[in-house]
């Protein structure tokens, strides 16, 4: 029998790419999403396949999947500042109640579970680059705390299930990832900048643009996640690129890539916006044999072509969204 995998958040950016990868690997794939932030169009190409099925379901309620499960990947969560500032309670619930439900399901099914944590557990880091043994600098009551603390709790309960119940668990700390199927209006820097270029607007940089980010192309991210799931390592692993760039320099790269004539304008830096973000990927290299391969130039070219293919209706609808946190 084919091995089975449940992927929550299946209609989201990373979730949909994971569905594709596991289908390619010969798995029976069960996707689950409540579609609050996911887009069913990301996975509709899979609906005709006999090895794919989809449940429209909220994992913060009881989760039941008939039959055997070999693996669970928990990717259900708002992931952009615009989303989790708009739906903070749901963000906290999916990281706590949702994770609890899926750990329970994994225990019943005797399945290995990988949970999608985030570089946000490091907060505005005082250590650079961030390695997995750094505990972070997070404001529990700040506006970003709903996401940061949901993910930190998610890691804690996952390790508790591993230690107390002997459950096979994996924890991926995902750094900024980009590529096709990102939402144009999700508020993060790459879709925000590209959307502004395509609409003929000036590019908005928050603060003086000296804050840094590192951007991992989605194909590399999916490879890292797959290797982590199939490994024997139970502690958190950073998956991201160590290549760091200042936001102001990145804005200039976008203008050069797109031959845009727009200017760069500046606005105040949002509260708790991290000033530096770059992973130490020593653990991923040594344990998983993984490192990113796609250059930022190549990845951005593919991403730009994807956004150019979107309809004008989608493009201009995104102009009315709040991009005040897009330097994430």
Any idea which residues carry the catalytic annotation? 147
Side-chain-side CA neighbours of residue 218 (13 Å): 21
């Amino acid at each position: 029998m084919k091995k089975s995998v449940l992927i929550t958040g299946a209609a989201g950016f990373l979730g949909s790419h994971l569905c594709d990868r596991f289908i390619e690997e010969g798995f029976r794939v069960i996707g689950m999403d409540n579609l609050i932030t996911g887009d069913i169009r990301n996975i509709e190409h899979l609906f005709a396949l006999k090895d794919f099925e989809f449940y429209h379901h909220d994992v913060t309620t009881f989760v039941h999947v008939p039959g055997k499960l070999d693996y669970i990947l928990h990717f259900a969560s708002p992931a952009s500042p615009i989303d989790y500032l708009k739906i903070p309670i749901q963000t906290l619930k999916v990281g706590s109640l949702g994770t609890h439900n899926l750990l329970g399901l994994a225990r019943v099914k005797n399945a290995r579970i990988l949970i999608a944590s985030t570089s946000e557990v490091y907060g505005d880091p005082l250590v650079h680059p961030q390695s997995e043994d750094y505990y972070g600098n997070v404001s529990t009551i700040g506006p970003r705390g709903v996401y940061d603390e949901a993910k930190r709790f998610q890691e804690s309960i996952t390790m508790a299930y591993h230690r107390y119940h002997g459950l096979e668990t994996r924890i991926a700390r995902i750094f900024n990832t980009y590529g096709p199927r990102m939402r144009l209006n999700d508020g993060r820097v790459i879709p925000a900048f590209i959307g502004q270029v395509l609409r003929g607007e000036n590019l908005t940089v928050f603060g003086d643009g000296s804050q840094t980010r590192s951007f991992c192309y989605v194909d590399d991210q999916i490879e890292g996640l797959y290797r982590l799931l199939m490994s024997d390592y139970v502690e958190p692993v950073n998956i991201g690129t160590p290549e760091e760039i200042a936001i102001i320099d990145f804005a200039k790269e976008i203008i050069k890539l797109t031959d845009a004539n727009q200017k760069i304008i500046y606005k105040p830096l949002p509260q708790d916006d991290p000033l530096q973000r770059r992973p130490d990927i020593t653990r991923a290299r040594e344990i998983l044999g993984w490192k990113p391969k796609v250059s930022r130039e190549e990845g951005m070219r593919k991403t730009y072509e994807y956004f150019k293919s979107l309809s004008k209706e989608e493009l201009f609808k995104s102009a009315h969204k709040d991009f005040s946190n897009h330097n994430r």
